[in-house]
Structures are given as C-alpha cells and as structure tokens.
Amino acid sequence: MKILRNAILQAIAIAAVSAVVGFAFNAFSRNGINPFKMPVKVPVAAEGSQAGEEGIRIIDLEEARRMVESGASVIDARRKDEYDEGHIPGAILFDYYDMGTYRDRVLAVLSNESEIMVYCSEATCEDSELLAKELYLLGFTKLLVFKGGFAEWSGAGLPVERGDL
Amino acid sequence: MKMTWSQGAHPTAGTRDGVHWIFNPYLLLAFRLLLAAIFIYAAVQKIGKPLAFADEIHNYGVVDYGAPLYIMAVVLPWVELLCGLALVTGVAVRGSALILLGLNAMFLAVIAKKTAGYVGDGTPFMKVYFDCGCGFGATYAWKKLLEDAAYLLVALALLAAPRHRFVVSIRRRSS
C-alpha cells in the first residue's frame, strides 16, 4: 500500500513538472500554440467540392495548374533543400517545421483576398494540410491543399523552378 | 534529507528471497532501460510539433478539437520524456512506471478501438495498417497491440517489484 501511495505521489510530481516544462517550451517554441485560443474546428472540404467555400479545400493537379496560371499565391511546405532542388514556379518556401524563420516574411506577402495554394512532397505527406490549418488559424480563409504535391506536379512534366527565389 | 545512489538493501533479491524471477534486479534494470529508450524516442518525435500531434490524437475520434486536446498535445510528449529520463536515472521509478502503465492502457484501448473500426469496414484484422501517432510511423495494428501489451506488462512489473536496484533513494536523516 505504501508502495502504491509513493508511486501515485511520484506520478503526480512527474505530471506537474511535465506540464510546467511543456508549457514553457511551447511558449518559446517556433511551432508553439496557444491551447486555449485554438479554434474548435478547421473546416476541410474534400476534393471536388465547390470553390469559394471558406476553409481548406483539397484540389487535384488540374486545378493546381489553373491556380498557378491565374497567379494565386503558392506555398511550398517542404524543407529548404527540397525546395532548392525544384519547386512549382512562383512558390514561396514556408517550412512547416521552421515557422519562426518563415512566418513573418511569408505572411507579409499573403493576402486574405486571394486564394492560397499549399503543397508538400507527395500525396502521403501531411505538412501541406497542417500548414494550411496553421494559416487558417492565422486568419487566412481561402486555402487550397494540392494533395498530389510536388511529386505529382513534376511527374506530370509541368514547369519546375530551381533555386531560391 | 539525503540522496543516495542505491543498489538496494538486498542485492540478491529475486534469487534467494523467493521472489518471482520477473523481479530479478538485473531484469528490472533491463526493463527500465527498454521502456526509457522507447518513450524517450517517441517523445522526441513529438516535442515541438503540437499541431501535428493534436491531429494524430484527434484521428482516434476520442477527443475533439478544443483546449483539452491541444493541452494533451503540448504536455503528453514531455510526460513521456520525463518518465523515460526518470527510469534511466533511477529517480521516481515507480511513479514513472505507474504513468507508463496508464498511458499504455490508454494507447491499447484507442488502438483497439481504431482497429475495430477498420475491421468493421471489412479490412481483415491482420491487414489493418496505420500510423498510430506514437512516433514510430505506420505499422500493422496487431503488431502495435502486441508491443503495447508487452510494454504494459513491463510497466506493471516495474510498479509491482518489491525493490529496485540502481535507483536514487531519498532518505530522511534521523535526528
């Protein structure tokens, strides 16, 4: 019984220290969030749904191509080395895991009036959707996620830009 | 108050005391290091990615988006990390074991629930394959369930052991 009581006390202490360290780290982290001010739901519309809806909409290659041609803002959510090797023409680099480096400079050139297309490596990566959610939380509401990502774009033989913009 | 690195009052505990072999001090030490390695690695994969981790928790369909989910995403990886460090250093071994017992029971329950959902949709049990959000990537559900059940038993052994060796014990000085 004494063993269990000690274990419970130790567990409470570990949980308390974890909470303090976790919140402190989160406060200074580049990817930190405010758990109390996050929206309860980010609307995500499936591929093929109607344009013009607020929130995140999943788009296919054809619509991604139209977006690029129409001059919509394009965000590349991959790492810098992947971006430098090749990206969709006009795409702005915004590494999802390095928010602190890119957030201010990217947000400065984005507008809530026009649509913003986000992509990452390939259909299985989730960083484009996560970044789109992050942008939604920052107030951008016309967000498109090109699910096929750079792999589908380059695989289709569409134009690719190399190096930093 | 005095902190000492203790090898235990009875170094032969588990061999001559009639205690079950599972409580052999060296086996318990191996259990501690095993759990510590797994949970420290898992924690490092999640720390600093609260939004991604929140999505992974949400995918289980147990907790909806909101403050409780985001608080879990911020704090849970640190609980795993601190438990792992505690097991390695020998500080609060039983407390860590208790937390990891609870966490593994929770992981087992939610993975079983998600697996049951896939099986209900027609996927054969042995073919259910998904990323549990545990920090180790996608794997077969049956494999993950077996792993978590093993970790649960290891945590239970650490919690129930009569005594541990290689631990930091805090003793009050008698006046």
Based on the domain organization, do A20 and A99 belong to the same domain? no
CA distance B137 to chain A (A): 12
For residue A24, tell me if it sits in a domain: yes
Maximum distance among all alpha carbons in chain A? 71
How many Cβ pairs within 8 Å bridge chains A and B?
97
For residue A112, tell me if it sits in a domain: yes
For residue A119, tell me if it sits in a domain: yes
- Specify the 3-state DSSP secondary structure of B168: strand
Tell me the pTM.
0.67
Euclidean distance between CA atoms B6 and B13, whole angstroms: 14
Say what the alpha-carbon torsion angle B24, B166, B161, B13 is, to the nearest 10 degrees.
50
For residue A162, tell me if it sits in a domain: no
Q: Would you tell me how many other CB atoms lie within 10 Å of the CB of residue A165?
A: 11
Instruction: Going residue by residue through chain B, which has 175 residues, state the pLDDT in tens, using 9 for 90 and above.
Output: 455 555 444 444 444 455 688 888 899 999 999 999 999 999 998 998 888 788 788 878 888 878 899 999 999 999 999 999 999 999 999 999 999 999 999 999 999 999 998 899 888 999 888 878 787 877 899 999 999 999 999 999 999 998 888 888 766 555 4
Euclidean distance between CA atoms A77 and A119, whole angstroms: 6
Based on the domain organization, do A20 and A96 belong to the same domain? no
ipTM for this model: 0.84
Euclidean distance between CA atoms A102 and A87, whole angstroms: 17
| Interface with B, mutate which of A12, A25, A33, A38 (most B CBs under 10 A) | A38
Based on the domain organization, do A108 and A77 belong to the same domain? yes
For residue A36, tell me if it sits in a domain: no
For residue A99, tell me if it sits in a domain: yes
The parent domain of residue A24 ranges over 1-30
For residue A160, tell me if it sits in a domain: no
Based on the domain organization, do A72 and A142 belong to the same domain? yes
For residue A8, tell me if it sits in a domain: yes
Based on the domain organization, do A69 and A145 belong to the same domain? yes
Based on the domain organization, do A26 and A48 belong to the same domain? no
* Contact check, Cβ <8 Å, B70/A35: yes
Based on the domain organization, do A23 and A59 belong to the same domain? no
Q: Identify the closest residue of chain A to B96 by CA–CA distance.
A: A11
Euclidean distance between CA atoms B103 and B43, whole angstroms: 13
Based on the domain organization, do A59 and A24 belong to the same domain? no
Based on the domain organization, do A52 and A26 belong to the same domain? no
Structural domains in chain A (count) = 2
A140: domain CATH number is 3.40.250.10
Based on the domain organization, do A12 and A67 belong to the same domain? no
Euclidean distance between CA atoms B131 and B46, whole angstroms: 13
Within 13 Å of residue B19, how many CA atoms lie on the same side as its CB?
20
Residue pLDDT, tens place only, A108-118: 888 888 899 99
Kindly list the residues of chain A whose beta carbon comes within 8 Å of any beta carbon in chain B: 3, 6-15, 17-19, 21-23, 25-26, 29-33, 35-36, 38-42, 97, 126, 130, 133-134
Cα A131 from chain centre: 1
Based on the domain organization, do A50 and A25 belong to the same domain? no
Phi and psi at residue A112, in whole multiples of 5°? -80, -10
Based on the domain organization, do A117 and A147 belong to the same domain? yes
